[in-house]
Structure 1
Amino acid sequence: MDFQNLLIESKGRIQYITINRESKLNALNKQTLQELHVALTEAFGNAEVGGIIITGAGKKAFVAGADIAEFVGVDVEAGRAIALEAQTNVFDVIANGSKPVIAAVNGFALGGGLELAMSCHIRIASDNAKMGLPEVTLGLIPGYGGTQRLTQLVGRGKALEMIMTADMVTAAQALQSGLVNHVVPQEELYLKAEEILNKILTRAPLALASAIKAVNAASTDGVNGFDVEIAEFAKAFGTEDFTEGVAAFMEKRKPEFKGK
């Protein structure tokens, strides 16, 4: 696919997906969401890609929200479709992906932008980042998983405060509440994201996928996360990576995992 709103760049086994609508503060319009679905699906299916960093073009914004102009004239059923398609085709694809995804949050991450960051497995923020869910100022609520993922990350009380006041939080406040994992100077943002992802990529790929699945099960309705953990733990014993990992440990050398 010839992407109009995304920049795709490979750096070793890391694939950068950059939302490239800088003049619109990288707002998520319908086309961008469609392109994200394709780019993510291709990245997860590409054996050469070990992990993904999602970011926004420029220094002002990661993603400043959804493109509100596209909401004009939308009725109830169309609104349902917007939320369902975005959650199913982009946000849940990231959260349930088999490879680690890091959000490099540079600047504003508001509304759908914060929801995009929260769907990623790890969030690194620049020290000038500001985050919030301002939907109630438009007569809406977060619709791309924001009410659920924010509650999981920061707790019910803080999530309700952020959503109902629509106030932004600073990077330092986001770090304190557990909304982001790390805060660094803006010029170090991508270095930090790569540092963490490159460390992760030295680990067994199949084990990483199992870890994501097991952790996600902790917040999945109707699923016993302990049962998922046991099943994924057991499955690991049948992999070549497990055999290699144990052999490397016994031989006091670094393992060479193949994702098999």
Structure 2
Amino acid sequence: MASSAQDLGPVLDKDGVRLTVDDAIATVTLTSPAKRNAQSPALWRALTEAGRLLPGSVRVVVLRGEGKSFSAGLDRQMFTPEGIEGEPSFIDLARRDDAALDATIAAYQEAFTWWRRNDIVSIAAVQGHAIGAGFQLALACDLRVVADDVQFAMRETSLGLVPDLTGTHPLVALVGYARALEICATGRFVTAEESVATGLANVAVPASDLDAATQDLAAALLSAPRDAVIETKALLRSATTHPYDTQRAAERAAQSRRLRALSHLDD
């Protein structure tokens, strides 16, 4: 890239989240390294806002965390009776009726949802700890580049909870049901080597090379025409749920659109 996104003026910079844009590449950075980028409802709202603020020129979004850890999960203050000032505690949430509780969790999930949009490709650059909500945030992205010191873990079950920030679907899709269940039920760490071997990560690199490897991947993703990437991403995402003949039809329809666009027949 011609310049570093981290050197540009931020489009958004609040509540532990910074969004910068460098032409077709946006970078979302978690900016609380002293807290190992622990997550809170305020951070989730900022992540949701970052997705809404993406300019139409953006094709690739890089997600990274400052410091030694990508994200060590939920802010531990959320587990205390008083919770985080200005936010509902877990006890407060438990006292809400079913509809209100469902709506609250759905709002939290929005921070983890927009990374899957077909008009962008998202890359998580993950180093150190990616635990619980941190693991699920990495799973929200399309691709994962990991440092050789990465340690993924899904600790929700160990705390009497479940992974509820959209992480179960991609985890099972990537590693299969049996391994996903074992990872979640035991809460154990998943290393860089296992991450690559099981398809959880695309590539593992030395920690010192993480940013460069992520930038190289982002640049490679920009080499193909944007509309072809969008159509291909949509096809690949639907392939996991469509019956075979339905997927064949979707391929034909997508290719017809591409052929007509390349031949300028829609002008």
Same-fold status (TM-score > 0.5): yes
Counterpart residue number, 1:198: 219
Match of 2:172 in 1: 151
Whether 1:164 aligns to 2:174 is no
- Measured after TM superposition, the shift of residue 93 of structure 1 is 1.2
In the TM superposition, residue 99 of structure 1 has moved relative to its aligned partner by 1.1
Q: 1:228 to 1:111 in 2, by over 3 A?
A: farther
Aligned length: 239
Equivalence for 2:69: 61
- Which sections of structure 1, spanning at least 5 residues, go unmatched? 245-259
Instruction: Tell me which amino acid in the other structure corresponds to 2:31.
Output: N
Distance between the aligned counterparts of 2:102 and 2:243, measured in 1? 23
Cα-to-partner distance string for 1:156-184 (whole Å, 9 max, x where unaligned): 11001001101111111111111100000
Q: How does 1:116-155 map to 2 (within 5 A)?
A: 116-155=137-176
Query: Could you tell me how far apart the structure 1 residues matched to 2:75 and 2:186 are?
Result: 21
Which of residues 50, 66, 89 in structure 1 aligns to 2:59? 50
Partner residue, 1:214:
235
**1:64 is matched by which residue type in structure 2?**
A
1:3 equivalent in alignment to 2:13:
yes
The amino acid that maps onto 1:164 is A
DSSP-derived class of the 1:40 partner: helix
TM-score by length of 1: 0.84
Counterpart contact for 1:96–1:212, Cα < 8 Å: no
Q: Which moved more, 1:16-25 or 1:215-224?
A: 215-224
SS of residue paired to 2:113 = helix
Runs of 5+ in structure 2 lacking a partner? Answer: 1-10, 84-88
How large is the RMSD of aligned CA atoms in angstroms?
Answer: 2.3
Write out per-residue CA displacement over residues 208-245 of structure 1, whole angstroms, 9 at most, x where no aligned residue.
11111111112347994443333222221232xx349x
Q: Given residue 101 of structure 1, which amino acid in structure 2 is its aligned partner?
A: S
Deviations along 1:83-134, one digit per CA (max 9) or x if unpaired, are: 32233x2322111241111000021111111111112111000001100111
Aligned partner letter, 1:3: D
User: How far off its partner does 1:12 sit?
Assistant: 4.7
> Kindly tell me: are residues 25 and 160 of structure 1, through their superposed partners in 2, closer, same or farther at Cα, counting changes over 3 Å?
same
Whichever residue aligns with residue 128 of structure 2, its letter is: G
Partner of 1:237: 259
Q: Secondary structure at the match of 1:3?
A: strand
CA distance in 2: counterparts of 1:141 and 1:51, whole angstroms: 30
Could you tell me which amino acid in structure 2 is paired with residue 229 of structure 1? Answer: E
Task: Mark the CA change 1:194 to 1:123 in structure 2 (over 3 Å): closer, same or farther.
Answer: same
Task: Measure the CA separation in 1 of the matches of 2:132 and 2:227.
Answer: 33
8 Å CA contact 1:130–1:168 kept in 2: the answer is: yes
Alpha-carbon deviation of 1:55? 0.7
Aligned partner of 1:54: which letter? L
User: What is the match of residue 3 of structure 2?
Assistant: none
Secondary structure at the aligned position of 1:103 is classed as strand
Q: Does 1:105 align with 2:130?
A: no
Partner of 2:90: 72
Q: Which amino acid aligns with 1:149?
A: P
Does the 8 Å contact 1:96/1:216 carry over to 2?
no
Using the aligned pairs only, state the percent identity. Answer: 26
- Residues 221-230 or 163-172, more deviating: 221-230
Partner of 1:83: 105
